[in-house]
């Protein structure tokens, strides 16, 4: 099996190390299309920080690449294996170590699933707001590594705003603790924020201390339907300019409305150009009424407010069904497992949302590719979803062209190449363009300082020289 495997088996319990080729194949990649994946040398499934550190020391001694993985729900190839790597699967580090109501904190291991933490916090009258679409399956470690967001970001922000401290295994196997448990603390460089969003390229996160909030009041929810995307964009800009802070402000275009209705009929207007899903959680009906007025003035053709919590949940479920509905659409368009989705992640100024959506429509039409747009309109973070035929190279090539043109458009509109999914392999070149030569040099200097042999998640985020 070779020296690295022999050393691992001499260091760890045998059941922690997987080498069977069929098992290895299931750890090769995350959910991103258009991204290459290699074959790992082995998969290590540690059950403690000490076992992670021991694995890294073996890898460092043999200069073997290390690819950390969580639930592999990512959409950029950040968790994809490279040939000959040790994949370190962190899903067995899945304990909630502490929920502290007095300090409003939680301490968790990286394999804890987002929804499990949310439910544990709720039992204490608290909330953990970051709620990525994959919250029922994605892990906190993966959320921290990509600085994940979700539907509540418009009011509550992304994962990084809740991370107080980390335990991280460094490239030499040493264990670093950074951050703190106090409400305030500004001593030294902010190493915690350095590791948040680093996608496993600087260290392996083995423990996370997060901030919790008091549970919000019951949400009040409504939908606003628009005959044009431009009108929906005007509504978003108007809501923001008026100083309103909804807890949720989501946009679904016609493609998504039709896909959701086909997936699970619920009476959505499939002829509308766009729908906004809006909620407030202050318990004050006047807040939602004021937002409704902004929607009306922007040209809404229909406004509907949920009458109770059951109706509100039904409306919100339409948004959560967006991804499985598009998966079904792709499967029907290209049967036999050929249908794939490339999920983009562009954030632009809120005043440019309509320009982005209309630009995506033009790009899709020009290349003859189906693209739907859904996302977090309240913070300008939209997800163009590109439907491709995995078995047809011309379809994949056109999907790549569309993806790149959307990236180019997003940057031209004053935006960024990712709002919450991270960079991984998929957006590595676009990050370099966004950063510019000086920003790229600083990123490479940080990587060199913390991982001088380049063993951690090589090729992700920053391209090799």
- Where is 24: in which H helix or E strand? helix 21-25
Cα–Cα distances (Å) from 321 to 133, 252, 387, in that order, read 9, 11, 16
- Alpha helix stretches (DSSP H) within 242-350: 254-263, 285-297, 309-320, 322-333
Cα separation, 114 vs 101, whole angstroms: 18
- Alpha helix stretches (DSSP H) within 170-308: 191-195, 229-241, 254-263, 285-297
pLDDT score, position 36: 93
Domains of the chain: 3-89 (3.30.43.10), 96-214 (3.30.465.10), 220-412 (3.40.462.40), 427-465 (1.10.45)
- How many Cβ atoms sit within 10 Å of the Cβ of residue 106? 26
pLDDT score, position 2: 65
Residue 159: closest CA among 123, 202, 195, 200: 195
- Where is 111: in which H helix or E strand? none
Query: Tens of pLDDT along 48-97?
Result: 999 999 999 999 999 999 999 999 999 999 999 999 999 999 999 999 99
Give pLDDT < 70 ranges for the chain. 1-2
Q: Which distant-in-sequence residues (6+ apart) come within 8 Å of 430 by Cβ?
A: 404, 407, 411, 417
pLDDT score, position 119: 96
pLDDT score, position 368: 96
């Amino acid at each position: 099996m070779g020296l690295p495997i022999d050393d691992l088996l001499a260091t760890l319990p045998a059941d922690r190390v997987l080498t069977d080729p069929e098992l290895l194949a299931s750890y090769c990649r995350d959910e991103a299309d258009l991204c290459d994946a290699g074959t790992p040398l082995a998969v290590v499934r540690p059950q403690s920080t000490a076992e992670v550190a021991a694995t890294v020391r073996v890898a460092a001694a043999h200069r073997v690449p290390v690819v950390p993985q969580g639930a592999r729900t990512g959409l950029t190839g950040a968790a994809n294996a490279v040939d000959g790597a040790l994949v370190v699967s962190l899903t067995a580090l899945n304990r909630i170590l502490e929920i502290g109501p007095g300090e409003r904190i939680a301490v968790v291991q990286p394999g804890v699933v987002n929804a499990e933490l949310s439910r544990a916090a709720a039992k204490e009258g608290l909330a953990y707001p970051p709620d990525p679409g994959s919250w029922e399956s994605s892990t906190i470690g993966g959320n921290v590594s990509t600085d994940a967001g979700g539907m509540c970001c418009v009011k509550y922000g992304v994962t990084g705003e809740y991370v107080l401290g980390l335990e991280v295994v460094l490239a030499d196997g040493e264990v670093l603790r950074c951050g703190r448990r106090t409400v305030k603390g500004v001593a030294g460089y902010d190493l915690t924020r350095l590791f948040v969003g680093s996608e496993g390229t600087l260290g392996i996160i083995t423990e996370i201390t997060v901030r919790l909030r008091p549970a919000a009041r019951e949400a009040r929810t409504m939908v606003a339907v628009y005959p044009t995307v431009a009108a929906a964009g005007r509504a978003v800009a108007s809501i923001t300019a008026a100083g309103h802070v909804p807890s949720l402000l989501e946009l679904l275009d016609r493609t998504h409305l039709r896909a959701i209705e086909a997936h699970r009929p619920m009476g959505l207007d499939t002829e509308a150009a766009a729908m906004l899903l809006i909620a407030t959680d202050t318990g004050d009906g006047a807040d939602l009424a004021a937002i409704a007025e902004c929607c009306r003035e922007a040209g809404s053709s229909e406004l509907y407010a949920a009458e109770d919590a059951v109706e509100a949940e039904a409306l919100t479920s339409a948004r959560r069904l967006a991804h499985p509905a598009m998966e079904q659409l792709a499967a029907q368009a290209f049967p036999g497992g050929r249908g794939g989705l490339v999920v983009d992640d562009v954030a632009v100024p809120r005043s440019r949302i309509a320009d982005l959506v209309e630009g995506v429509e033009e790009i899709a039409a020009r290349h003859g590719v189906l693209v739907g747009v859904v996302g977090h309109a309240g913070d300008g973070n939209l997800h163009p979803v590109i439907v491709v035929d995995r078995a047809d190279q011309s379809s994949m090539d056109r999907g790549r062209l569309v993806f790149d043109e959307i990236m180019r458009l997003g940057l031209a509109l004053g935006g960024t190449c990712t709002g919450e999914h991270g960079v991984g392999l998929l957006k590595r070149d676009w990050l370099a363009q966004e950063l510019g030569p000086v920003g790229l040099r600083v990123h490479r200097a940080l990587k060199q300082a913390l991982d001088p042999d380049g063993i951690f998640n090589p090729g992700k985020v920053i391209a090799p020289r």
